[in-house]
Chain A
């Protein structure tokens, strides 16, 4: 019953797909999120696409990933993601992507699942105002897919 309520709340609050957990209902424990955001296992190949796409995760703008050397120009703002799966488990990776500030206080990394609480929230890259809640930067499934890909990065 509680789960049903959460899902309904999710639809009402974020307007995202049926299966996605609302950001407000995501349980962070020491920065980690144990429960899947969708209940559907992540697809690593899709996750890789999310990471390289400027319109989606755009992860390589800040992070270097040796396994993605075919994608040109990796940034050096954040740490290399090589060996990410050796350093973090699935729940920790999910938490870091959903809201890295729960793991690293004051992190520069955007919170990819957060929908409210922004300073001057804008409508994507138009410069115009937007009303919260915003659609998250990535859907629950896109985050699950990125987690699946990151779990393949072992050294």
Chain B
């Protein structure tokens, strides 16, 4: 069957759906290939993991954006998120706290963080819970450096997360969903499907059932988080995963959870797992 025949069939299926009053199904994004700086190949679509019932394919949010937004990511000189990474590089080398240490004192250069972003959030045996990169940054600061913890949602921690994330660019996201993380993953899944607020909307309503569809002038993505931290053109700062979750939950006219809450840790693990196999892409650029 040629492409036109398939398109005609899909169109008539859509007409049938409309006349029955049923919702329009999700739509695949247009094809697109992302190579950063001419050499880092980014996997922007991959078969979804078997344990994700609602998706056949996982797509990076990059695929759903307009070409002019996509273009910001092709070269790091055009990526405004890199400004914050450079700021974090200075902080990485700066001594802070009672122990007279910087990040570099123990970890040498940030390239030692290669692979970290790909597997977080991750079970931390000592903490007895799943932790995020933000948690581990603060763990280092308070227990190794003798420094104050940064606010979970501060600009500083988002930038440091960007520097750490950058080291894993192009590696496949591979968070563990079983073993000791299983309980947290299940909790995250429950939150993903909970229809919160006066609008009674779950993550799944928009990002599983309607990705690719227009909501007013915006195309809905799958809500994948492989690109975080993300530079949003309308915010002009790097945005963390929990901050983005908070914005979405608020928009359902619900009482939100806080960045750094156990609920958002669980949701981060679950949403990360929906994109296992996509490349670590952050710091990415979205509108």
Contacts and interface: CB of A to CB of B under 8 A. Distances in A.
B216 A126 contact: no
Chain A interface mostly helix, strand, loop or mixed? loop
A80 B215 contact: no
Interface stretch (B19-27, B50-58, B169-177): B19-27
Q: Chain B interface mostly helix, strand, loop or mixed?
A: loop
Interface in B6-26: 17-19, 21-24
A75 B215 contact: yes
Contacts, number: 96
Interface size class of A (residues with CB under 8 A): 20 to 34
B134 interface: no
B156 interface: no
Contacts of B196: 118-120
B214 interface: yes
A104 B200 CA distance: 14
Contacts of B194: 119
Contacts of A129: 255
B249 interface: yes
A75 B254 contact: no
B216 A120 contact: no
B217 A72 contact: yes
A15 to B, nearest CB: 15
B126 interface: no
Interface string B158-183: 00000000000000000000000000
A73 B215 CA distance: 8
B255 A122 contact: yes
A75 B216 CA distance: 4
B232 interface: no
B24 A120 contact: no
A122 B198 contact: yes
Contacts of B210: 77, 108
A79 B255 contact: no
Contact of B254 (A60, A114, A121): A121
B209 A122 contact: no
Contacts of A110: 198-201
Q: Which 8 A-B pairs have the closest CB atoms?
A: A127-B250, A129-B255, A73-B217, A127-B256, A122-B254, A120-B254, A120-B255, A110-B199
17 contacts: A60-B216, A73-B216, A75-B213, A76-B24, A76-B213, A79-B18, A79-B24, A108-B201, A110-B198, A110-B200, A111-B200, A114-B198, A119-B195, A119-B197, A120-B254, A122-B198, A134-B198
Given A79-B18, A108-B205, A125-B250, 8 more contacts: A80-B18, A107-B23, A114-B198, A119-B194, A121-B198, A122-B197, A122-B255, A128-B255
Interface of A: 60-62, 72-80, 87, 104, 107-108, 110-111, 114, 118-122, 124-130, 134, 137
